[in-house]
C-alpha cells in the first residue's frame, strides 16, 4: 500500500487518507491515477471544481492525459455529471480527494508536463497553507519534466505578488506573469466559472507560470 503523507509537511504519516468519496463505485482515486504511470504528457489540475477547464483542456489536447483533482463533494459530483453529459473523454482521470495527500505517493511514477492551480483560496490568515510556501510544491517540482511548468491564476494581486517574490528562493523561475482584464483583453476566453465572474466584473487577473531552475 502507498504511504500516506502529512498535508503541510509532505512527510510520510501513519494517518489514513480521509476520502470523501471514491471516483467510481468501489474504485479509489489511487487506482485511477495509476493509469497515468509511465505515460508522457501528464497534466494535473488541482482544485478543478466542476471541471470546465479540465474537460476543455482534454478536448483541445487529446495527446495529453489530465488528472483532475477536486476535494469537495458537491463540486466533484457536478464534475462527474458534466463528464456523463459529454462524449467520452478517454484522456481524463477525475479523482476525488485532497491533492496534498493523494498525489505524493504517485509522483515518482509520473512525468508531469503541467500543473494547473487556478484561483486557489489565497489563505489570507494562513501563510503556511499558501501553495508557494508548501513543501508539497517542492515535490511537484521534482516530478516535472525538464520543461514542465506550474500555472497559477488568481484575481488577488498580493497573492500573485507573493508568488513572484517567493518563487526564486524555492527553486523556481518565473517564466510568465500576465495581467488580463476586460478592457485590454476583450477577446479573452475564461477557463473557469470563477475566472469568468472576475473577468466580467472588470477585475485584473494574473496568469503566472513557474519552471524549474536549471540545477547547474
H-helix or E-strand containing 201?
Answer: none
The per-residue pLDDT for range 170-216, each reduced to its tens digit, is 999 999 999 999 999 999 999 999 999 999 999 999 999 999 987 65
In a domain, 16, yes or no: no
Task: Provide the number of structural domains found in the chain.
Answer: 1
Q: Determine the average pLDDT of the residues in 145-160.
A: 97
Question: Could you tell me if residue 13 is inside a domain?
Answer: no
pLDDT tops 80 at residue 30? no
> Cα(122)–Cα(195) distance, rounded to whole angstroms?
15
CA dist., res. 131 & res. 192, Å (int)? 19
- H-state helical runs in 167-207: 193-200
Is 146 exposed, middle or buried, given 0-12, 13-18 or 19+ CB atoms closer than 10 A?
Answer: exposed
Tens-place pLDDT, residues 75-116: 999 999 999 888 889 999 999 999 999 999 999 999 999 999
Residue 121 lies in a domain: yes
Neighbours of 43 (CB within 10 A): 24
Residue 33 included in any domain = no
Output the domain CATH number for residue 193.
3.40.50.150
Burial of 58 (0-12, 13-18, 19+ CB in 10 A): buried
- 164 Cβ partners below 8 Å, 6+ apart? 174, 177, 208
pLDDT-derived band of residue 22, with 50, 70 and 90 as boundaries?
Answer: very low
- CA 25 to CA 7: how far, in whole Å? 26
At residue 10, does pLDDT exceed 60?
A: no
Domain that holds residue 53: 42-212
Query: pLDDT at position 29, please?
Result: 75
Predicted model pTM: 0.86
Amino acid at each position: 500500500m502507498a504511504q500516506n503523507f502529512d498535508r503541510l509537511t509532505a512527510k510520510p504519516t501513519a494517518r489514513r487518507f480521509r476520502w470523501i468519496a471514491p471516483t467510481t463505485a468501489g474504485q479509489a482515486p489511487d487506482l485511477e491515477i495509476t493509469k497515468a504511470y509511465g505515460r508522457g504528457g501528464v497534466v494535473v489540475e488541482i482544485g478543478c471544481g466542476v471541471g470546465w477547464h479540465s474537460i476543455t483542456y482534454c478536448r483541445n489536447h487529446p495527446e495529453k492525459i489530465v488528472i483532475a483533482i477536486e476535494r469537495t463533494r458537491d463540486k466533484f459530483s457536478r464534475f462527474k455529471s458534466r463528464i456523463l453529459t459529454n462524449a467520452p473523454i478517454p484522456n481524463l482521470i477525475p479523482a476525488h480527494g485532497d491533492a496534498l495527500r493523494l498525489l505524493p505517493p504517485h509522483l515518482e511514477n509520473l512525468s508531469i508536463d503541467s500543473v494547473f492551480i487556478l484561483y486557489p483560496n489565497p489563505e489570507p490568515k494562513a501563510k503556511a497553507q499558501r501553495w508557494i510556501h508548501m513543501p508539497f510544491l517542492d515535490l511537484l517540482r521534482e516530478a516535472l519534466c525538464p520543461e514542465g511548468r506550474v500555472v497559477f491564476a488568481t484575481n488577488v494581486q498580493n497573492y500573485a505578488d507573493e508568488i513572484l517574490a517567493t518563487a526564486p528562493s524555492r527553486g523556481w523561475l518565473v517564466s510568465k506573469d500576465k495581467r488580463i482584464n476586460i478592457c485590454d483583453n476583450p477577446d479573452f476566453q475564461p477557463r473557469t466559472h470563477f475566472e469568468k465572474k472576475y473577468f466580467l466584473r472588470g477585475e485584473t487577473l494574473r496568469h503566472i507560470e513557474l519552471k524549474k531552475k536549471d540545477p547547474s
